[in-house]
């Protein structure tokens, strides 16, 4: 029956037949019952046929390419474990970046997998569904390969051993968790704006890439190989992010204000989350890649600037409060490291005062702020530590109701004054770190009053005990004296010195009398 009166399909049309043409208009069930979530956010889609497939990958090629990548990746993992690759890293302090990654980022990948699986069912446009499903299974790949990459580290270092349990409970991990819960509890279009556009397209180079570059600079062959292996997946996710936003904007002008509000929200939410990454870049990598401020300039101010210029024609302006990030880039990482340094009793990673060389690097990278506001503080703490009085803060910090970062940031126009906003909703006063977070709350108070704020929960006695030690050990599963506290003199540090046949420091700077009591 081969009829040759029609032309052979070109690649684009062939892909169309192999994906969206598999779909049909249902008649036995109403469209709104089959796709009940497509309208409640107010986004108007007039023609799904206008969806441009962001990539063309049929399942047979997907299996083939991904299998080749997996084969190579696992060969490296095996070689890394067999040859004790963990001993070839720059310094054991580096592993603390991995602890942050495994507890704070890997669980997000799993969440993204389920989120994309859901939206991969919910759109009535089959092209968009298929693209989302491919991202879903990629995200599953990422959580699993990250676990496999870090499995070997877990056998030789503390703090990595109960990542998923910690993700659900540890105070600072509510920052990434609430971010992803926020996205997943939103409707399908907001989820894509949050994750595909803001996170993957605008901010990936500031999240995923710094960790992977950090691995490359610090001799972590397992993690950097994962990074290279995931690069082509990430490229697909980024193209999906851009297509999603352009598609929604082109579909109907009524979508513009909704999307603008989402961009404002998710930019600010992402910016706050990235503070943790910035801290890692500036303080946790023994071999530094670039400073947070430099990364923000290159990957947000330049790349993001060009992007928002491009989106201008749709009536989209740059995210609200973006000017505060330009000021904040010179401050936030120092403020956050100083916070974690104090609260190390309740972290699954170690903290420390940077060495002279590192302090000088920070002075050089942050000429306007570091020597003036932050270096003296670190030097003071170093002196205290040398006297055997390593500083730990025994009270718990005040968290922002929205981003859940402790309210430790300073006013954009005054780096000596803490930034604090509050708002009364139905007779209750809620507290925020910034105008950005306060605005987000005001737009959706019913959502944010539900936030599970760890500090509130601890003080209310909902975390297995009233004292910090019980909470840390029993509730967080942070093994006191192993996973937490000062790096110098920690079991990780001592094992590292033994492997490297170096001398133990004569006086572990982390020791003081209360040390063991957490």
Residue closer to another protein (CB basis): 44 or 495: 495
* Residue 84 binds another protein (CB under 8 A): yes
* Residue 82 binds another protein (CB under 8 A): yes
* Residue 477 binds another protein (CB under 8 A): yes
Residue closer to another protein (CB basis): 61 or 507: 61
Rg, Å, the chain Cα set? 24
270-309 residues near another protein, rule: CB under 8 A: none
Dihedral sign, CA of 276, 282, 287, 290? positive
What is the rounded CA–CA span in Å between residue 259 and residue 186? Answer: 13
Query: Least distance in Å: CB of 375 to another protein?
Result: 36
Query: Least distance in Å: CB of 19 to another protein?
Result: 8
Q: What angle do CA 44, 50, 54 make, to 5 degrees?
A: 110
* Residue 98 binds another protein (CB under 8 A): no
138-167 residues near another protein, rule: CB under 8 A: 140-141, 143-145, 147-148, 151, 154-158, 160-165, 167
Query: Least distance in Å: CB of 472 to another protein?
Result: 15
315-354 residues near another protein, rule: CB under 8 A: none
How far are the Cα atoms of 284, 359, 361, 362, 380 from residue 367, in angstroms, in the given order?
20, 12, 10, 8, 20
What is the rounded CA–CA span in Å between residue 443 and residue 329? Answer: 26
Query: Least distance in Å: CB of 352 to another protein?
Result: 21
Residue closer to another protein (CB basis): 140 or 256: 140
Q: What is the total count of residues that contact another protein (CB under 8 A)? A: 101
Q: Using the rule CB under 8 A, give the single segment among 48-56, 115-123, 299-307, 334-342 that binds another protein.
A: 115-123
Residue in 96, 103, 178, 351 binding another protein, rule: CB under 8 A: 178
* Residue 136 binds another protein (CB under 8 A): yes
Residue closer to another protein (CB basis): 82 or 395: 82
Q: Using the rule CB under 8 A, give the single segment among 69-77, 299-307, 389-397, 508-516 that binds another protein.
A: 69-77
Residue in 186, 230, 240, 279 binding another protein, rule: CB under 8 A: 186
Residue in 39, 47, 52, 63 binding another protein, rule: CB under 8 A: 63
What is the rounded CA–CA span in Å between residue 451 and residue 136? Answer: 26
* Residue 181 binds another protein (CB under 8 A): yes
Residue 422 is given by DSSP the state: E
Residue in 44, 55, 56, 70 binding another protein, rule: CB under 8 A: 70
Which residues does 298 contact at the CB level (< 8 Å), separation at least 6? Answer: 205, 290
Query: Least distance in Å: CB of 217 to another protein?
Result: 23
Which residues does 450 contact at the CB level (< 8 Å), separation at least 6? Answer: none
* Residue 232 binds another protein (CB under 8 A): no
Dihedrals phi, psi of 460, to nearest 5 degrees: -85, 0
Residue closer to another protein (CB basis): 348 or 385: 348
SS3 per-residue string spanning 56-122: CCCHHHHHHHHHHHHHHHHHHHHHHHHCCHHHHCCCHHHHHHHHHHHHHCHHHHHHHHHHHHHHHHH
Residue closer to another protein (CB basis): 8 or 417: 8
Dihedral, 117, 122, 123, 127 alpha carbons, nearest 10 = 40
What is the rounded CA–CA span in Å between residue 214 and residue 286? Answer: 9
DSSP per position, 227-274: HHHHHHHHHHHHHHHHHHHHHHHHH-TTHHHHHHHHHHHHHHHHHHHH
Residue in 187, 219, 412, 465 binding another protein, rule: CB under 8 A: 187
* Residue 57 binds another protein (CB under 8 A): no
Residue in 44, 55, 56, 126 binding another protein, rule: CB under 8 A: 126
DSSP strands (E only) in 319-447? 410-411, 414-418, 421-425, 428-432
How far are the Cα atoms of 267, 282, 294, 314, 365 from residue 372, in angstroms, in the given order?
29, 17, 19, 43, 13
215 close to 227: Cβ distance less than 8 angstroms: yes
Residue 6-45 contact track with another protein, rule CB under 8 A, x = bound:
xxxx---xx--xxx-xxxx-xxxx---xx--x--x-----
417-476 residues near another protein, rule: CB under 8 A: 447-448, 450-452, 457
Residue closer to another protein (CB basis): 180 or 290: 180
Dihedrals phi, psi of 395, to nearest 5 degrees: -95, 170
Taking Cα atoms as reference points, which of 454, 456, 490, 452 lies closest to residue 475? 454
* Residue 385 binds another protein (CB under 8 A): no
Residue closer to another protein (CB basis): 135 or 369: 135
**Which DSSP helix (H) or strand (E) runs through 447?**
helix 445-448
Query: Least distance in Å: CB of 356 to another protein?
Result: 31
* Residue 499 binds another protein (CB under 8 A): yes
Residue closer to another protein (CB basis): 184 or 329: 184
Give the end-to-end CA distance of the chain in Å, rounded to a whole number: 79
Tokens 């298929």 sit on residue: 130
* Residue 113 binds another protein (CB under 8 A): yes
Residue closer to another protein (CB basis): 169 or 382: 169
Residue in 43, 48, 54, 66 binding another protein, rule: CB under 8 A: 66
Residue closer to another protein (CB basis): 108 or 353: 108
Residue in 39, 52, 79, 87 binding another protein, rule: CB under 8 A: 87
Residue in 52, 168, 379, 516 binding another protein, rule: CB under 8 A: 168
């Amino acid at each position: 029956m081969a009829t040759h009166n029609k032309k052979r399909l070109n690649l684009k049309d062939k892909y169309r037949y192999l994906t969206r043409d598999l779909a049909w208009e249902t008649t036995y069930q109403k469209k709104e019952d089959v796709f009940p979530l497509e309208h409640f956010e107010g986004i108007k889609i007039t023609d799904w046929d206008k969806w441009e497939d962001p990539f063309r990958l049929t399942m047979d090629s997907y299996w083939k390419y991904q299998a080749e990548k997996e084969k190579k990746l696992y060969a490296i993992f095996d070689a890394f474990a067999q040859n004790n690759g963990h001993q070839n890293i720059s310094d054991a302090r580096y592993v603390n970046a991995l602890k942050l990654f495994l507890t704070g980022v890997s669980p997000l990948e799993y969440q993204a997998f389920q989120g994309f699986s859901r939206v991969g069912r919910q759109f009535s446009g089959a092209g968009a569904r298929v693209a989302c499903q491919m991202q879903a299974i990629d995200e599953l790949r990422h959580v699993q390969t990250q676990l496999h990459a870090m499995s070997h580290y877990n056998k030789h270092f503390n703090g990595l051993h109960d990542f998923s349990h910690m993700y659900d409970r540890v105070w600072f991990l509510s920052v990434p968790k609430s971010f992803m819960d926020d996205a997943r509890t939103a409707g399908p279009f907001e989820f894509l704006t949050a994750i595909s556009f803001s996170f993957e397209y605008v901010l990936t180079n500031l999240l995923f890439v710094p960790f992977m570059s950090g691995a490359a600079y610090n001799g972590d062959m397992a993690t950097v190989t994962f990074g290279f292996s995931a690069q082509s997946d990430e490229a697909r996710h980024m193209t999906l992010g851009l297509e999603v936003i352009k598609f929604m904007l082109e579909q109907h002008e009524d979508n513009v204000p909704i999307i603008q509000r989402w961009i404002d929200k998710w930019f600010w939410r992402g910016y706050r989350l990235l503070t943790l990454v910035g801290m890692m870049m500036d303080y946790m990598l023994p071999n530094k890649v670039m400073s947070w401020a430099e990364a923000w300039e290159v990957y947000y101010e330049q790349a993001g600037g060009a992007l928002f210029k491009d989106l201008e024609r749709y009536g989209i302006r740059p995210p609200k409060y973006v000017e505060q990030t330009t000021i904040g880039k010179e401050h936030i990482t120092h403020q956050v490291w100083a916070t974690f340094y104090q609260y190390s009793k309740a972290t699954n990673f170690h903290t420390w005062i940077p060495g002279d060389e590192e302090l000088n690097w920070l002075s050089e990278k942050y000429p306007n702020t570091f020597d003036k506001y932050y270096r003296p503080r670190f030097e003071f703490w170093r002196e205290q530590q040398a006297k055997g009085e390593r500083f730990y803060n025994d009270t718990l910090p005040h968290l922002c109701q929205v981003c859940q970062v402790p309210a430790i940031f300073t006013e954009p126009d005054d780096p000596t004054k803490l930034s604090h906003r509050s708002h009364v909703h139905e007779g209750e006063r809620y507290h925020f770190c910034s105008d950005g977070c306060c605005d987000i709350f005001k737009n959706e108070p019913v959502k944010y009053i539900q936030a599970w704020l760890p500090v509130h929960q601890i003080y209310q006695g909902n975390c297995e005990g009233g004292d910090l030690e019980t909470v840390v050990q029993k509730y967080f599963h942070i093994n006191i004296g192993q996973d937490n506290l000062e790096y110098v003199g920690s079991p990780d540090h001592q094992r590292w010195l033994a492997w490297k046949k170096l001398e133990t420091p004569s006086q572990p700077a982390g020791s003081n009398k209360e040390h063991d009591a957490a």
